[in-house]
Structure 1
Amino acid sequence: MFPAQGLTGPHTPCRGKLSSIRPFGCGCAVRETTAVTTNEDPSRLRPRFRRRAEPVAGATDPEALFGELPRTPGGVGALWSHQADQLRTYADNHRDTPDVALELPTGSGKTLVGLLISEWRRRTLGQRVVYACPTRQLARQVLQKATDQGIPAVMLIGSHRDWAQAKLARYTRADAIAVTTYSAIFNLNSHLADAQTLVFDDAHAAEGFVAEAWALSVGRDTDQYEQLFDALGESVEPALVTRMVGPVSPAVDTREVRLLPVGAVARHTEDIDRVLSALTGDSAYRFRMVRANLGSCLFYVSRREFYIRPMIPPTFQHEPFTDPGQRLYLSATLGGAGELERAFGRTDIKRVPVPTAWDRTGSGRRFFVFPELADVPVDGSLIDDDEENSQEPVAGLVDSLLALSRKRLVLTPDEDSATQIANRLGVPAAERFTAKDSDTGIQPFVDAEAGILLAPSRYDGMDLAADVCRMMVMSGLPAASHLQDRFLDTKLRASEVLDERVRTRIVQGAGRCTRGPKDWAVVVVTGADILRFLSRREIRESLPAELQAEITFGLDQSQVPADDLILLAESALEQDRIWQEDAEPELAKLRREATRVAAPHAAQLAASTVREVRAWTYAWQQDWESAARTAGEVFENLTASTLRPYRALWAYLASAWSDLASTGDTSPAALRSADFLRKAYAAAVGTTWLKEVHRLPSATYDSDPADEAGVTAVVSLLNGKLASPVKFESFFSNMLANLSQREASRYERGLVALGELLGAESFKPAEKGRADAAWMWRTLWMTVEAKSEQEPAGMLSMDYVRQTNTQLASLAADQGVEAPPSGSVSIIVTPRGVVDPDAVPIAAAHVHLVLPKRMLDVAHDAVRAWKELRGMAKGIAGELPREEFASVLWDNGVLPTQVRERLTRDPIRGS
């Protein structure tokens, strides 16, 4: 850098002195050395008054700006070709586009591209630019990169009361870019509301950070949790309240999440408001964001919390977000199903996709290891043998793999899972680090010589490049980060809607330790759910080609003896001759063969976002008529069969909003509400969530034909075969005993007996190759294949999956009908949660896994319901009270449709 005019030598940083003096281009103050001495102290120089400098001509575009930046020791010397391509596309086509998204995968220099566009808009257009990151940790990284590149930037994070006024003034004068967090934009009173350009880094991870501004969690540990049930009154069934607030018992599913009726929330907003107005702290601020629109929010409840939010955040009314002339979204993956639009509540985001060459280049090299696929000795005799390994062979193998490195990263969906891994490894407290968004961030782990970084739900925002960390574990499927996601996944069964989000988290998480082309790492993937997810061909084909190759290679290489897998991982860590000669050529071949294919029906989901965002805009404005009409359009245009669960939700919303718009039982809106409710029921087949939320008018608990048949059979048994108390006690005792042990023939007898208690025509088919038990109701069949004698270790084979694929068809042939009833399912009861990866793609959609414990839970609930029914039936002469009996079976979760839902939570191939 040449010295500025009037200076006696090169400029050096001022170390923060004379902060009131005009900043130099790098952000430091300068003092002119031609100043005169003071009369009081001849040795002291008197500062000169500042004079306005001539304006410097702005660069023609962001790419040209890069060449005008000062050359700094920490800066990037040259742009990669794909960065230049992105900048040119932006300059040519999107300078004035209100919403534009740039796709640049992990390790491809996304932040530099964003900073160059930000600085160009600041310098050339004279705009105030805010660069927002999901976390403070990322904000610090961006500030460092800006400083390294000679781009003036200030960091404004935390409470606005703590911001340095000098820094805020530099942003306000457009002398520097403001680097901050999403929360500084999306809050009740943003102090960066005057931005003219907004840049969102890691926009692929924005869903939680944006929606969080309009999301309120009321924890079970607060008084308001139980008070909300009182406020909702008769709208919530007593059995649900008991399960939510009562003590844990065998009848309680701690993972249950329930959507509460939209109409009930709207009718009780005054009572709800009275309860929530007593919240304090951060919850009080969140409540203020939704207070005026409580009737427009969805209410979810679990034993942990109430979760209150609109489905899509109402960013349209948030001026700090809508007022800037441009919103730029930097994303590692844009996907194809419209998640970016849903996350930010925008309908028209223009996309600049990743350069095609990068899709096959990637960033660094990873060796994916799948311990569940290895041949692990049942006695756990590995290289490092100890008592704990002998009790949990796969866990012992994971521990042995992680022991290959002194520094390890642990990514899990929740905190408990991460802590369990650290405890099992015996990591001392001094070597445990947590990836919290604090002032120090992950720096203590970066500086440490050894340790484990626990990062629950932190799939983004951590750079652990080079030697910082080369070993990581991804444990469990990152499917649900909040109750809305859990509802979509476990109750609605709309996993296809969530698949893009899950893919993004996996892609991002896998890249935490490979930030550049020269990085490498071993990625240990553990958990049956994430293994099956990555075993699905359609999931892998939707990933970047480089990642497809690495995962396919890992799936193949992991099916070896456990001690061999440890040695292979060692080769990958050392990048030794064996890795270079064997692995690299094979990966190159797989990469050439890989073809990226859009996820099924992604285009249809993407096209739906315009209507979905518009519908929630109307709902937030409480324009129920327009909201209902647009929700109906969403329903009508989601035609793919696999999107049927999502269609059901939108039909329900159209019904609920139509009801709120109605003026009477015979108004057009009321008639439309009833019609959409019937359509929602037709689309929600195979689930019970809608019956939990809003039963059809005058419908009973057993309104479904399968449930009606089940109740009829139960009443018949109560009056006949199991009328005797002695016979009943003997029947259920033998059933529970048989289902509590592993011997095959006894277990099969237990399954047949359970089917009878559930009101099914239950038997063991006699023909060869048939199921071990068949349960048949009028419009629903279930076949059950029992593998109770299997050891937990090992994989479920392709042969068992193929056999189960055909059991419903075989049962139909035996019954002399062409096909089983729609919605029928096949169950494999096995202690093995791991399925041969080659068996996952061939599994029929109706085939599900069930652990023996879950089947036993259903049996205990059936016995509990029967005991209550027997008590009710005592002393009743004549016809038994059918509706009350159906209610008891419903409350215990053992009506046929409920049993189907409970036993189909774990599809082998995905829903």
Structure 2
Amino acid sequence: MSFKKKKPGSAAPSTPVGLLPLLTRRTIPDAMSHQKDMLAVYAEDMVDQPDVAMQLPTGSGKTLVGLFIAEWRRRKFKDRVVYLCPTRQLVNQTVAQAEKQYGIDAVGFTGSHRDYAPGDVSDYTTGAKIAVTTYSSLFNASPFFNNPDTILLDDTHAAENYIAKMWSLEIPSADGPLSSLHAALAGVVKPYISGQSYARLTGDWEDRFDATWVDKLPTETVTKLAPQLIAALDAHKDASKDVRFTWPLLRDHLHACHIYLASREILIRPLVPPTWTHAPFHNAKQRIYMSATLGAGGDLERLTGRAKIARIEAPEDFRKAGVGRRFFIFPGLSLEPDACEKLRKRMQKYAGRSVVLTPNAVAAEAIAEQFDNEDDFEIFSADDIETSKEEFIKSKKAAAIMAGRFDGIDFPNDECRLLCLDGLPKATNAQDRFLMSKMGASALLNERTQTRVLQAAGRCTRALQDRSAVFVTGHELLDYLADDRNWRHFHPELQAELDFGVYQSKGVSPTDFMEAFKSFFDNDASWDEANGEIVSDADTKVQHPYPAMNELEAVVRHEVAYQRALWSQDFERALEEARAITSKLTAPELKGYRALWHYLAGSVSQMLSKSADDGADKAAREQFIAAKDSAPSVPWLAQLTRGETSITSTGDTPSEEVTVQVERLENVLLALGTASEHKFEKRVKAILDNLADPKTFEEGQRQLGDLLGFVTGNGKGDAAPDPWWLGSAMGIVFEDHADGKASTVFSATKAKQAATHPDWLQENEPEADNLDMVAVVVTPCTTAGHGAKPTLKKVRYWSLDDFRSWSKETITIIRTLKISLPPNGDLFWRMNAADTLSSRGRTLETILDTLPVAADAMTIQSK
């Protein structure tokens, strides 16, 4: 054969903008002015920076900017360039744009390494083409892309779990390959957690509020149990692919990880992903992060494990302008849940094509089932449109229902005009949930939550002239978007859209909702007038930054340095960095996060301690006390000072019993919604109605305990007690006589039955194990038989009439607390709630303090 002639190398202009005339296969006439501006800033200031972030809002053409930089570096520096996307669909979409619109050579890599075409591999390894692939193709234990020179991370705001997942071992308890490992680890930690926590961890509970429970195993306990934990994980190392690849990365660094215990789940991971240990990422000459929002407060650095990332902000005109128009519909402000579902289906059928985003597969399946009898209506899942969405777009009647996919797939213009958001993509992993719910550190995640929600709401508005209706369900998402306290941190046009949507959604019927939706969908004169109102209103709005972002930004380099030092067992350096963080976190909004870092400093001091009461040990206890003082209403911190008598907390702090109750109360009230009072008042009516009827009194009593923040239940079977209210260390178990009369004599048999209830409960209910249980009789009786006296000395007395009056007052107290409840974990609200419940006698301790011993309260008959 004859020898092939070598093609001349691609020309390399001095700047990325200079590529444009060289891309002769392009179909675009020119780059837009703002794109050229950003490319010019990059060429002038950022070419040699190791980490660069570029803010490129939706509709601003970020793919062009990213691909131009990628192609320029490939040509000028002969770089091997890898362009990362969150999903396979976006990989294919990006390759198509590169080839067809910009005339740039790119090759997509999806699926297994073994299936990569040899020619494609050669094009990347020789630097002939840009490689476009998914995040998971780079962030894994054995990546094919092991030595890229330049890495571009598209949609970085969606990358947090793709990056952190490499060092995150999630172990569910559900039936599957990891259930045995979960059971083994749960058995190891069981002696170190409460019976209630163990029940939640293993799934042995019935209370729906326990489904959101999350906690953290103290680092001291992790250190103590390390040999057992490692042995259990080693024994199950081949249980799944995740364990096989992730556990070896964590095994020798368990001291630098946290173990989170959640409802039916265990998560092992470091606070910050140690990306510096992953050579393909760390050794690249440059990493470029592209996102619709860069986030404030160092959030991007925390997500990527990089100490400092230079930034190129979007042009000012793009920061001021909104992208498209959204008509927010909040049916839950006027309708019951069943009516909301029926309305959504009516709108979906009218729209023809709709997109539904849900947090989980269960919710997605439930929505899909509503179309089981609609033979002419097609249902698409995320997998169905992973490679291409063409079949969905061609369908006249279809719904794309996707679980856990709040960004990454776009449906611009007429592809879809109805987006249904069912639930809030707020805290996507146990660590985030722990920081928000346990530590009250929502300020840390404000920007991240906002980005998730707004990216989800923008799936069908991808350009300035685009528009879509956004149908919002799920109480958390409703509370977040309909709460005007959140709006001031949003873009002015979004504020106006939400204001308009809330106003249109209050006090209206399903027919009203449909008429408004049809007006929007048909783009008629009525909607044109409404759109004008939104535009005018937006001019009056001002966007304000979230509080304390400057402090969070100032400490992030210390956070990354702390994690790096701890990973390599440089405990002295880790302690130094942790102390630097606590000294800089002074804003009141960061009390919970400051408490966490005092705790982490104390944990490192413990690692440095050689013996009890040495300097490092005392320093550790001082840090734990500082943690408790920083966030006295955080239940989890109470265990840090338990048993430590040589150091006492400063100031008055709520007891652990009260803080646990407040945390649960907060979850109960949030579950009932903050945007509307419908659910709360419906619950209150049920409680009062049940308490008024002797036949349903026990259920009303149990429901009231739920509302107060206690773990509740009701006995069934022989000798079982009536309802019980449980806290973290004590509990009340009732013996009710709601159908009794004041003239009835309380018998010795009834007294003995009541006195044995604590024993029955501790024998039959794991959550009551080791609790200090007290029996309480609720009765109209005022007289007891002589034989009842010995056992009535072990029982407390509560008059039935007094209990009902107390219950009504309790509901008034809870209603007042609910009015001031923010939609996220708030330490100030928790402190006020703890003080209110204690001072108004609504804690287990204060309730029992007011109840007399039954033998003293009742008249005892003589022999």
Q: Shorter-chain TM-score: what band? A: 0.7 to 0.9
Deviates more, 1:249-258 or 1:164-173: 249-258
Equivalent of residue 564 in structure 1, options 512, 515, 532: 512
Structure 1 match to 2:153:
200
- SS in structure 2 at match of 1:259: strand
2:554 matches 1:607: yes
Give me the whole-angstrom Cα distance separating, in 2, the residues matched to 1:873 and 1:523.
52
Structure 2 match to 1:371:
331
Equivalent of residue 244 in structure 1, options 187, 191, 201: 201
Letter in 2 for 1:189: S
Letter in 1 for 2:471: V
Letter in 2 for 1:685: P
User: How far is the alpha carbon of 1:153 from its aligned partner?
Assistant: 0.9
- SS in structure 1 at match of 2:210: coil
Alignment map for 1:43-54 (pairs within 5 Å): 48-54=2-8
Structure 1 residues 831 and 70: alpha-carbon distance in aligned structure 2, compared to 1, 3 A threshold: farther
Do the aligned residues in 1 keep the contact of 2:200 with 2:264 (CA within 8 Å)?
no
Deviations 1:495-523 (A, max 9, x none): 22222111001111111112223322111
Structure 2 match to 1:57:
11
Give me the whole-angstrom Cα distance separating, in 2, the residues matched to 1:402 and 1:421.
11
Structure 2 match to 1:228:
185
Do the aligned residues in 2 keep the contact of 1:702 with 1:708 (CA within 8 Å)?
no
Deviations 1:591-649 (A, max 9, x none): 32232221111222122211111111112112222212211221221111121111111
User: How far is the alpha carbon of 1:567 from its aligned partner?
Assistant: 1.4
Equivalent of residue 296 in structure 2, options 311, 332, 336: 336
Give me the whole-angstrom Cα distance separating, in 2, the residues matched to 1:679 and 1:503.
31
Structure 2 match to 1:772:
none
Equivalent of residue 163 in structure 2, options 210, 217, 220: 210
Letter in 1 for 2:516: L
- SS in structure 2 at match of 1:401: helix
2:616 matches 1:669: yes
Give me the whole-angstrom Cα distance separating, in 1, the residues matched to 2:599 and 2:569.
17
User: How far is the alpha carbon of 1:241 from its aligned partner?
Assistant: 2.3
Give me the whole-angstrom Cα distance separating, in 2, the residues matched to 1:451 and 1:445.
7
Structure 1 residues 589 and 183: alpha-carbon distance in aligned structure 2, compared to 1, 3 A threshold: same
User: How far is the alpha carbon of 1:192 from its aligned partner?
Assistant: 1.1
Letter in 2 for 1:172: T
Equivalent of residue 402 in structure 1, options 334, 348, 362: 348
User: How far is the alpha carbon of 1:150 from its aligned partner?
Assistant: 1.3
Letter in 2 for 1:350: A
Structure 2 match to 1:178:
131
Q: Which has the higher helix share?
A: 2
Do the aligned residues in 1 keep the contact of 2:674 with 2:821 (CA within 8 Å)?
no
Letter in 1 for 2:4: R
Letter in 2 for 1:225: H
Letter in 2 for 1:325: K
Structure 2 match to 1:303:
263
Letter in 2 for 1:345: G
Give me the whole-angstrom Cα distance separating, in 2, the residues matched to 1:491 and 1:424.
37
Letter in 2 for 1:289: L
Structure 1 residues 654 and 851: alpha-carbon distance in aligned structure 2, compared to 1, 3 A threshold: farther
User: How far is the alpha carbon of 1:707 from its aligned partner?
Assistant: 7.0
Deviates more, 1:858-867 or 1:273-282: 858-867
User: How far is the alpha carbon of 1:446 from its aligned partner?
Assistant: 3.2
Do the aligned residues in 2 keep the contact of 1:314 with 1:616 (CA within 8 Å)?
yes
- SS in structure 1 at match of 2:600: helix
Q: Which runs of 5+ in 1 are unaligned?
A: 1-46, 379-390, 712-757, 760-774, 798-826, 834-849, 875-882, 890-895
Give me the whole-angstrom Cα distance separating, in 1, the residues matched to 2:563 and 2:684.
43
Do the aligned residues in 2 keep the contact of 1:359 with 1:545 (CA within 8 Å)?
no
Give me the whole-angstrom Cα distance separating, in 1, the residues matched to 2:674 and 2:554.
44
Structure 1 match to 2:211:
254
Structure 1 match to 2:404:
457
Structure 2 match to 1:286:
246
Alignment map for 1:477-516 (pairs within 5 Å): 477-516=424-463
Equivalent of residue 632 in structure 1, options 573, 579, 582: 579
Q: TM-score, normalised by structure 1?
A: 0.72
Give me the whole-angstrom Cα distance separating, in 2, the residues matched to 1:433 and 1:783.
39
User: How far is the alpha carbon of 1:317 from its aligned partner?
Assistant: 1.8
> Among the aligned pairs, what percent are the same residue?
32
Structure 1 match to 2:55:
103
Do the aligned residues in 2 keep the contact of 1:198 with 1:326 (CA within 8 Å)?
yes
- SS in structure 2 at match of 1:367: strand
Structure 2 match to 1:387:
none
- SS in structure 2 at match of 1:449: coil
Give me the whole-angstrom Cα distance separating, in 2, the residues matched to 1:190 and 1:291.
20
Structure 1 match to 2:42:
90
Alignment map for 1:386-535 (pairs within 5 Å): 392-424=338-370, 426=372, 428=374, 431-436=378-383, 440=387, 442-535=389-482
Deviates more, 1:852-861 or 1:306-315: 852-861
Structure 1 match to 2:523:
575
Structure 1 residues 77 and 556: alpha-carbon distance in aligned structure 2, compared to 1, 3 A threshold: farther
Deviates more, 1:677-686 or 1:587-596: 587-596
Alignment map for 1:531-546 (pairs within 5 Å): 531-537=478-484, 539-546=486-493
Give me the whole-angstrom Cα distance separating, in 2, the residues matched to 1:831 and 1:395.
21
Give me the whole-angstrom Cα distance separating, in 2, the residues matched to 1:857 and 1:641.
26
Structure 1 match to 2:105:
152
User: How far is the alpha carbon of 1:70 from its aligned partner?
Assistant: 2.0
Do the aligned residues in 2 keep the contact of 1:134 with 1:181 (CA within 8 Å)?
yes
Structure 1 residues 257 and 366: alpha-carbon distance in aligned structure 2, compared to 1, 3 A threshold: same
2:631 matches 1:684: yes
Structure 1 residues 184 and 905: alpha-carbon distance in aligned structure 2, compared to 1, 3 A threshold: farther
RMSD: 3.8
User: How far is the alpha carbon of 1:905 from its aligned partner?
Assistant: 13
Deviations 1:158-215 (A, max 9, x none): 2222212221111111100011111122121222121111100001111111000000
User: How far is the alpha carbon of 1:700 from its aligned partner?
Assistant: 14
User: How far is the alpha carbon of 1:783 from its aligned partner?
Assistant: 12
Structure 1 residues 709 and 515: alpha-carbon distance in aligned structure 2, compared to 1, 3 A threshold: closer
Equivalent of residue 31 in structure 2, options 73, 79, 82: 79
Deviates more, 1:361-370 or 1:533-542: 533-542
Letter in 2 for 1:272: L
Structure 1 residues 708 and 597: alpha-carbon distance in aligned structure 2, compared to 1, 3 A threshold: closer
- SS in structure 2 at match of 1:346: coil
- SS in structure 1 at match of 2:712: helix
Structure 1 match to 2:791:
none
Structure 1 residues 225 and 111: alpha-carbon distance in aligned structure 2, compared to 1, 3 A threshold: same
Give me the whole-angstrom Cα distance separating, in 2, the residues matched to 1:597 and 1:452.
37
User: How far is the alpha carbon of 1:243 from its aligned partner?
Assistant: 3.8
Structure 1 match to 2:690:
none
User: How far is the alpha carbon of 1:459 from its aligned partner?
Assistant: 1.6
Structure 1 residues 620 and 706: alpha-carbon distance in aligned structure 2, compared to 1, 3 A threshold: closer
Equivalent of residue 115 in structure 1, options 67, 72, 77: 67
User: How far is the alpha carbon of 1:532 from its aligned partner?
Assistant: 2.7
Structure 1 residues 234 and 169: alpha-carbon distance in aligned structure 2, compared to 1, 3 A threshold: same
Give me the whole-angstrom Cα distance separating, in 2, the residues matched to 1:486 and 1:51.
60
Structure 1 residues 323 and 409: alpha-carbon distance in aligned structure 2, compared to 1, 3 A threshold: same
Do the aligned residues in 2 keep the contact of 1:243 with 1:252 (CA within 8 Å)?
no
Structure 2 match to 1:907:
821
Do the aligned residues in 2 keep the contact of 1:701 with 1:886 (CA within 8 Å)?
no
- SS in structure 2 at match of 1:525: strand
Deviations 1:832-870 (A, max 9, x none): 99xxxxxxxxxxxxxxxx996831773736446323995
2:271 matches 1:325: no
Alignment map for 1:771-810 (pairs within 5 Å): 795-796=676-677
- SS in structure 2 at match of 1:404: helix
Do the aligned residues in 2 keep the contact of 1:831 with 1:852 (CA within 8 Å)?
no
Q: TM-score, normalised by structure 2?
A: 0.76
Do the aligned residues in 2 keep the contact of 1:135 with 1:437 (CA within 8 Å)?
no
User: How far is the alpha carbon of 1:311 from its aligned partner?
Assistant: 1.0
Do the aligned residues in 2 keep the contact of 1:128 with 1:195 (CA within 8 Å)?
yes
Letter in 1 for 2:443: E
Deviations 1:433-492 (A, max 9, x none): 111398635454334332211122212110212222110111222211111111122222
Give me the whole-angstrom Cα distance separating, in 1, the residues matched to 2:711 and 2:589.
31
User: How far is the alpha carbon of 1:250 from its aligned partner?
Assistant: 4.6
Equivalent of residue 322 in structure 2, options 359, 362, 366: 362
Give me the whole-angstrom Cα distance separating, in 1, the residues matched to 2:251 and 2:819.
35
